[in-house]
Structure 1
């Protein structure tokens, strides 16, 4: 994928098509995998998941974000970079109580549009590359990240006990989608080429 981000990029359904979903199962499976890999590349979301900012279901919420993006292509005739970016930012704010203001969602959104175009052209090289990079990362990862919770500078008069609570270090176990499936004794679905298919969680917001 090109390093230059085209914020105006979009994809549009062909004439006669009600939405952007692929009729070919392999194309659709590869595209959904590509969306998942791009969502996992978003550092802001990864940090939120690792630190449990979305509660005990943080990892499940990340998979829900993937499903929401995929649903855009299953329900819309036109999807552009801005729509995907706004959907990602809204999900972070609504599900993880986090406002992302560093434009980091933009390259993720642009990447998803580009992946759709490639899958439409039967080019799965980027998706396969992202998947291999992700699996390699899981093999080499340390498994834990330490987050230091600093004292609130706007509340310097906090009690000693409160300061101790604010200075505590949390060790957060990184939980990826594959880990969840292992814990739930659910085997991942693999297609004929050996690629794991995205399993939609079906979770929607309750509020």
Structure 2
């Protein structure tokens, strides 16, 4: 695991580097699918977007105002705690660790007034938003307007529902029995499905 020791001996980060680092953090967070999903689904309430912005500000403040070395584990723990508290979410996909490593690299570069990784983020064009693509896929399979479920869960449910329908379409369907005078329908026994 990476650890940054640049904050220990170097001076404070310049205003230009601080502004550029803040932009870089915003770019990384904007492409962080797990974070964007909890924001889009308002896991932090109606002010989820503001909470994401506050997370960005907290991380920038940690880099710019705290003294001493900036350790990977400290950054991961801080981000994990803030996400858990603000969005009632636990990211178990190792994305917090990946983002923390990227942020530490950007911070190191900013201390040296080198902004290559942030320039790459600025110049790279993300093909659509991962969250809207997931939502579109889920929307193609599910016509409900419910956004209470996680996109991954709803897509899995849609796939599980689609498979039996496809299998049922491969064999002829028996006609449905008509309800009797009392509204009851007699269901015939299933034949050929036991262990004969």
TM-score in terms of structure 1 length: 0.59
The aligned counterpart of 2:147 is 170
- How far residue 93 of structure 1 moved from its aligned partner, in angstroms, is 0.7
Distance 2:78 2:62 in 1: 9
Match of 1:79 among 65, 70, 73: 70
If each structure's strand is expressed as a fraction of its own residues, which one has the higher value? 1
Q: Unaligned 5+ residue runs, structure 2?
A: 139-143, 149-196
Distance 2:102 2:24 in 1: 9
If each structure's helix is expressed as a fraction of its own residues, which one has the higher value? 2
Match of 1:127 among 111, 114, 118: 118
- How far residue 34 of structure 1 moved from its aligned partner, in angstroms, is 1.3
User: What are the residue-to-residue correspondences of 1:25-174 with 2, within 5 Å?
Assistant: 25-73=15-63, 74-133=65-124, 136-137=125-126, 140-141=128-129, 144=132, 145=135, 169-170=146-147
The alignment yields a C-alpha RMSD, in angstroms, of 2.7
The aligned counterpart of 1:11 is 5
User: What are the residue-to-residue correspondences of 1:190-205 with 2, within 5 Å?
Assistant: none
1:56 aligned counterpart, secondary structure: coil
Q: Unaligned 5+ residue runs, structure 1?
A: 1-6, 149-166, 172-207
- How far residue 52 of structure 1 moved from its aligned partner, in angstroms, is 0.7
- How far residue 49 of structure 1 moved from its aligned partner, in angstroms, is 0.4
TM-score in terms of structure 2 length: 0.62
**Which structure has the higher relative contact order (CA within 8 Å, separation 6+)?**
1
